[in-house]
Amino acid sequence: MPFTAPQTLSSRERDPLGWCVLIVALFEAMALWRIGTPTRYYFDEIHYVPAALKLLDLIPANREHPLFGKEVIAGLIHLLGDRPLAWRLGPALFGGLGLFAFARLNWHITQRRRATIAATALLATNFMWFVQSRIAMLDMISAGMCMVGLWQFAAALRARKTGPARLHLIASGLAMGLCLGAKWSAAPALMMPGLAFLILRLRETGPLRIGRRGAGPIKGITFTEAALWLGVFPLAVYWATYLPAMFYPHHAVSPWGVIEQHELMIRLQDSVKKPHPYRTYWYQWVADWRGIWYLFENVDGAQRGIVMIGNPLSMIAGLFALVWGVWATAFRRRWDVLAFVVLYTACLGMWIVNGKPVQFYYHYLLPGAFLMAVLALALDALWDRRGRWPKVATGMMVLALLLFALFYPILSGWPLPFRSAYNFWMWLPSWR
């Protein structure tokens, strides 16, 4: 059972750190290979790269989103020059960091070697994480820091001493603040560490003694201190990411203008109501029904395509795993499964109730990642069974990896032999 005291943790399974590092290294190598192609902006890079360039000159732009993601892109442009590598290197590095953090999060929550390795491989090959790691957008910078924040909180729960646990909590708060400072999409996931601490504290002390000293879930960390590192500190870090905007020569953000700034951002986001050909709804994301063509044209001397869809096997199998996850939680008390089911539901639920007029498939990036963790735990349960089930689980893993290899040409902008060659991968009319 996860989130138990360190003395009760299982020591039967070895930490799969080496395997996870290998998977992350392979992923990062593929993400960086030919990342400079195409050599011009594609899809939403037309918004974020110019905004980053203007940020270097302290000119307001793209004011509907927070600044940290654009600060990362701007910083790399400053270091490497205004070229494709600099535009996209930040998301690629944060994609690799986020994948590693996801692996460590899985290990700290589940303490299951096979499930951790499987989850890492499934996320690396679920198409979405790879494609979003190769484009100069804000989403991967936010998602990567989200995974770091969750990992550090889970590490704090597993820490044996107060000192290391406190450092993990501080790192968690820092990462969560930077995550929110890149994009607001991860907000539901960022609420989970504080809620988890509260629930685990209430389970031990009850509501009347919640402030009792020496109580868990992290020995030596009071309820007030946890609120500081998981609540106040991330918000302070988030607001600190607006520091460059406070020095704009025109339309500067006031250090005390928190409410006014966010009213402006919400107003700007809600003003985008013009129909978009790739506008989709949450149930289409879940069914992997409609993706986005980030690129499809003759560029850099060849016909190229980059499509944002999910791995058809792992994303659909993950839905069946969700059903199993609810059952496993209710009848097997699998709290590790519940953790990822809740993260998936919270991140998807935000978009179900969100009033934003235009939404896109890449908003499924975080829910799709947590879905891979649930699927990995379901496969791990099959590996524990007798008969043919272990072979079924292994076959699904192998097929998911093979599908990534099969779709790689139109996930990475590989040159196509002729324009209509993309039809080979268009298994559904709605993918076109």
- Reduced to 3 states, what is the DSSP secondary structure of residue 298? strand
> What gap in Å lies between CA 149 and CA 153, rounded to an integer?
6
Instruction: Give 418's DSSP letter.
Output: S
Adjacent-strand bridge partners of 253: none
**Which two three-digit tokens encode residue 106?**
């899985």
CA distance to 141, 332, 366, per residue, from 186 (Å): 11, 29, 7
Adjacent-strand bridge partners of 292: 308
DSSP string, 78-111: HHH-SSHHHHHHHHHHHHHHHHHHHHHHHHHHH-
Would you give the distance in Å from CA 213 to the centre of its chain? 35
Helix or strand run (H / E) with residue 155: helix 139-158
Instruction: Give 416's DSSP letter.
Output: B
> pTM score, two decimals?
0.95
> What gap in Å lies between CA 25 and CA 348, rounded to an integer?
29
Other Cβ atoms less than 10 A from the Cβ of 421: the count is: 14
Q: Contact at 8 Å (CB) between 108 and 155?
A: yes
Q: What is the pLDDT along the chain (432 residues), one digit of tens a residue?
A: 344 433 334 447 899 999 999 999 999 999 999 999 999 999 999 999 999 999 999 999 999 999 999 999 999 999 999 999 999 999 999 999 999 999 999 999 999 999 999 999 999 999 999 999 999 999 999 999 999 999 999 999 999 899 999 999 999 999 999 999 999 999 999 999 999 999 999 988 888 778 787 777 998 899 999 999 999 999 999 999 999 999 999 889 999 999 999 999 988 888 777 777 888 999 999 999 998 999 999 999 999 999 999 999 999 999 999 999 999 999 999 999 999 999 999 999 999 998 777 889 999 999 999 999 999 999 999 999 988 999 999 999 999 999 999 999 999 999 999 989 999 999 998 898
Residues 6+ apart with CB under 8 A from 314: 122, 125, 126, 372, 375, 400, 403
Q: Contact at 8 Å (CB) between 70 and 52?
A: yes
Adjacent-strand bridge partners of 166: none
Burial of 234 (0-12, 13-18, 19+ CB in 10 A): buried
DSSP string, 216-265: SSSTT--HHHHHIIIIIHHHHHHHHTTGGGGG-SSSPPPTT-HHHHHHHH
DSSP string, 17-77: HHHHHHHHHHHHHHHHTTTT-SSS--TTHHHHHHHHHHHHTT----TTS-SHHHHHHHHHH
- Reduced to 3 states, what is the DSSP secondary structure of residue 384? coil
